[in-house]
Every structure is written in C-alpha cells, then in structure tokens.
Chain A
Amino acid sequence: MLEVGLVWAYTLSPLGEQAVVVEVGTKIGEVAQGKVRAITMLLDEFPPLWMIEYIPAYTTVTIVYKIECFLLEEKSPFEAVCEHIDNLFLYLKTANQTEEKVVHIPVLYGGQHGPDLQFVAEHNGLTIDEVINIHVTGTYEVHMIGFAPGFPFIGGMSEKISAPRKETPRLLIPERSVGIAGAQTGVYPIATPGGWQLIGRTPLDLFLPQSDEPSLLKMGDKIKFYEITEGEYASFRGGVL
C-alpha cells in the first residue's frame, strides 16, 4: 500500500509536448540528490501507466509521458499530468539509505592512454606519481548519468589535481579514457570528441548494451580508482593493450 509521506516544494515545467521537468532545487548537492533519489524510487515502485520513462539529473527528474493518456480530460494534457504527479508525490518518502555501493575502477595511468598526465602534473606543480596518488586516494560519488551512454558525472576530486579543459577539443577520445576537466574527473564509456585532459584508461566497460541495466554506474554509487600495470590492463582486455 502507498503511505502518505513527506511533501517538498518542487516546480513542474514542460519540456515539449510529452515531458515534465520536476525541479527540486537550484543547487547541486546532497539535499537535491536525496530528493531526486526519492522521486526515482517512487517512480520505480509505482510506475504510472502514462509514464514512458524518467531522466534524473542533479536537481531535476524529467518524466516523459504518453500524451494519449490524457485526451479525455477537460484540462490540457500538461495540466492533467501535473495533477497526476502532484497526487503521486503525496506518497514521497525519504530515500532510504540503501547500502553504499562502492565500485572499484582499475586505471592504467599515463603513457599512450594518458597523454595529458604530464600536463596535469606540471599545471599543479606536482610529479606524475603525486597526481596518480591523489587521484587514487579520493572517494568519488556519481551525481548523475547523462551526456552519453553510461557516462558518470563524478564529484569529489581533490582541487590539487584540477586542470583546465584543452583549448581545442580532441576529435576523438578513445572509449574508457579517464580524464580531468576543471575540478571534475570522469570516464568516457564510448569514443567521443571532448576537451578533457586524459590521464589514463580503464579496461572496464562502463556501457553494457547487452545488459538490462546498460550502465555499470548508477546515481549515488561511490567510486574508488586504483592503479594497474600494462600487463594487468592487457590481461583484463584479453591480451589487448
């Protein structure tokens, strides 16, 4: 049974004819993320028949709906779906503290796979080893998945190894590259153009098209990076470096 729970302030606005953006805050952080999680949990538990899917982000959850479900109502389909959302959200509960999932990501730092590691070190007045050490020491959190299949927006990197984006983006960054842009670190699941400073590469696939959940990482996951050797990288990829 549904239980009546908390109610938060949120705003509803359209994204075209078939989607509603639910905005729960205007600042990136734990508060907004907790609300986003609570909404996605509710939508997972009680998926409305009119819902096609939802897209969580830092401070918003966008709900894609079937316009044909609201044709018999007197209101416009947008107003009708907003009323349904308001009613459903009466049952919002605080996101339960699911056990923390920590994903360990092996990285081969530097060399051909991390051509910008030297730049990141010089930019911060550090040695290469110090950069790697700081990168593997941090505990990171996945704030959201978006931009590309399985692409995690990760928070928690030390400012000591931050580096500006490249002035001219690379036309192609190989899949599984690990990079730094500003105070953020990230992993590219698929090959794509981009301006990140590349410090290494993981042998781990982040995008799993054959899986029911095609992204290795989920919002809220914790990440620890660890360094591996060329040999370990190669054995991970079945002998291919």
Chain B
Amino acid sequence: MITIVKQGLSDTIQDLGRFGFQKFGVVTSGAMDAHSHRIANLLVGNAEKASTIEMTLVGPHIAFEKDAVIAICGGDLQPTIDGVAVDMWKPVYIRKNHVLKFGAARSGSRAYLAVAGGFRVLSTMNSQSTYLKACIGGFEGRTLRTGDTIDCNERSVLGEALFLALSTKKIASWRPSSILLPTFKNDYVIRFMKGRQYHLFDEKSQYLFANEKFTVSSQSDRMGYRLNGEALSLLTPSELISEAVSFGSIQVPPDGNPIVLAADCQTTGGYPKIGQVASVDLSLIAQAKPGEQFSFREISLETAQRIMVQRERSLRNLKLSIAVKLKEMGK
C-alpha cells in the first residue's frame, strides 16, 4: 500500500488507454507519454499496460507501507528518497516507511511511477485510466489527493526476482540503452504526416507550418496543446463534417492557431487537420511545457510506420534483456 503524503499538481492513475468505446464517444485517455509509461512498467517486471501514476509539473510525496521495487521514467521531477536523488530509468528498491518525494519539473513535464505488481484500482470499460472530465477510471475518477491510499497487486514472477535481487543492492547497475531514452529539451522537432485536410490549406500556411516555430501556450493540458505562431489559413473557408480525430491530430480552428490533440481528446472533431504527429514523437508533445517551442518536419506514412515498428522492436528487446539481467542477478 502507498499513501499520498502530499499531493502534486495533477497526479492521476493511467494505463495504455480505454479502447473499444470510442463509438460511444468515450475518449481513450491513457498515459500522455506512453513510451515512458511502458518502460517504467518493464523495469519492474510489470505488463506494459499496468497502471502507473502520471504526475505533471510538480509531483507528490508518497510513503510506502512495505518494501517495494519502483521505477520512475519520463520527465525529471527531481525524485528523492531521504534527501538523496533517485536514479530514473532504473528499477529502485525503496524500504518500508520511507517517502519518495518529487519536486518541480527540471526537464520534461510528466513523470511516471511504476511499482512492481502495479496499482490495484478498479477498471472502468476495460481500463484503469483516469478520465477527469467524466470522473471515471483510476482512483475514484479524480486526481490523487493528500491522504489517499492505494493498494498494490502481487508482484509478477519477474517482479519478485527483481525484488529479491535488489533487496541487497538497492539499485540496479544497468539501465535501458540510450536509444530508448528520450531527451526532453526545448526546441522540440516533431515529425508529422500530412493530415486529411492538408490540401485545403493555402500554400503559405503549408510552408509556414513546416518552417516556422510554434510556442506551446498555457492553455495546454491532457486534452490538447494550443500553439501560438504564424496563423494558418484555408484556401477558402469551408465547413467540415465532423470525423474521428486521435492523439496527435493537429487541428486548426478558424483563429489559425494549431491545436495538437492529446490523450484526453474528444473522439471526433470538425476542424481541418493539417497534420498528424508521428506516434514515436507523441512523448515529446507530452513532455513539452508551456512556453517551449515546436517545429514540425514532414515524414511519409511509410516512414512513420517503419519508425514505429522499429520502436516496438526495441521495446520488445528491452523486455527480453531485462529478463536475462534478472536471471544473472539471481545467481
């Protein structure tokens, strides 16, 4: 069991999302930075889809009732235990009655805490992800508050092996290869594919979109990121018929400022889409802070699919190599 000793700015329980219900208008939600979420789970022997705590900009203080193995991935929210900095992107052993403290984001904006076994919260529509607007999923459909206690599930076989191995060493001497570790630094270059209404934009707007920088506005959250920059416009203003949108769709409302839709985005939208962010770059979107800048680089769908498949292969390799490491540690 863990206890939130001090709540962060917006801590929610998330998994890989709620799929199968979009036809009922139910948004998918799920971890904004699914890549970091998945690695955090793999590092503690969990299934990738197990729930983690997503924290944003300022993290919580969390007390552990029992010894546990945890991993923290994503943005650097300065995690410490007893005043000592905790390594990220590694499995870490935390002893009972100790408090894991997060501070303000130093790089990136969202961190993911996985605990071996995963958090025990109810599933709503096959997912543990919190969707705040409809008050469903996660912990009572809301952000975590000071005083909340969350149970943890039994560790997997792998998680238990890790727990035993780390109980003496406290921290693993290995981490995933750097190819899997994103760096979150301002001036993000975001790869995108042309959107279904790309051709409806005038040439100047198409040029500006691919060559200018756009600033993340303060009106940015789990639903979407509003960007400021050169205004984009259509060849001729036209009414569009609402159709499906998804995490990464780049919509342009009449004011010309693009909106990058995020994990809690609505299922359908009626604004023209100039582009779609390559899924491998969604974690960069998730980690950008208000005031930071994006520039967009076009890639083809083929390239985007190829990169995505490569990324999936590296994650699978990571999973295998963690199992091998554990065998070695057990010896």
Residues of A participating in the B interface, judged by any CB pair closer than 8 Å:
13-19, 21, 23, 26, 28, 40, 52-60, 62, 64, 67-68, 71, 76-78, 144-151, 153, 189-192, 207, 209-210, 213-215
Contacts and interface: CB of A to CB of B under 8 A. Distances in A.
Given A14-B193, A57-B241, A71 B309 contact: yes
- Report, nearest first, the 10 A-B pairs whose CB atoms are least far apart: A146-B268, A62-B244, A215-B24, A55-B244, A60-B243, A16-B276, A145-B25, A57-B243, A149-B26, A55-B22
Interface of B: 19-27, 124-125, 133-134, 136, 193, 196, 241-246, 248-249, 266-269, 276-279, 301-302, 304-305, 308-309, 312
A23 to B, nearest CB: 8
Contact of A149 (B134, B196, B248): B134
A78 B304 CA distance: 11
B305 A214 contact: no
A16 B305 CA distance: 9
Contact of B25 (A19, A68, A77, A150): A150
Contacts, number: 133
B244 A149 contact: no
Contacts of B241: 26, 28, 57-60
Given A147-B266, A149-B26, 13 more contacts: A16-B246, A18-B279, A23-B243, A52-B19, A53-B20, A57-B268, A60-B241, A60-B243, A78-B305, A144-B268, A148-B25, A213-B24, A214-B24
A49 to B, nearest CB: 14
B131 to A, nearest CB: 8
A62 B245 CA distance: 9
13 contacts: A13-B196, A15-B249, A21-B243, A55-B22, A57-B268, A62-B244, A67-B309, A144-B242, A147-B242, A147-B266, A147-B267, A148-B133, A149-B27
A57 B244 contact: yes
B196 A15 contact: yes
B288 to A, nearest CB: 19
A15 B19 contact: no
Contact of A53 (B19, B134, B308, B309): B19
Contacts of A28: 241
B25 A17 contact: no
Contacts of A151: 25
Contact of B242 (A15, A67, A77, A153): A153
A207 B125 CA distance: 12
Nearest to B276: A16
A67 B308 contact: yes
A27 B133 CA distance: 32
Contacts of A210: 124
Most buried by A among B19, B196, B277, B278: B196
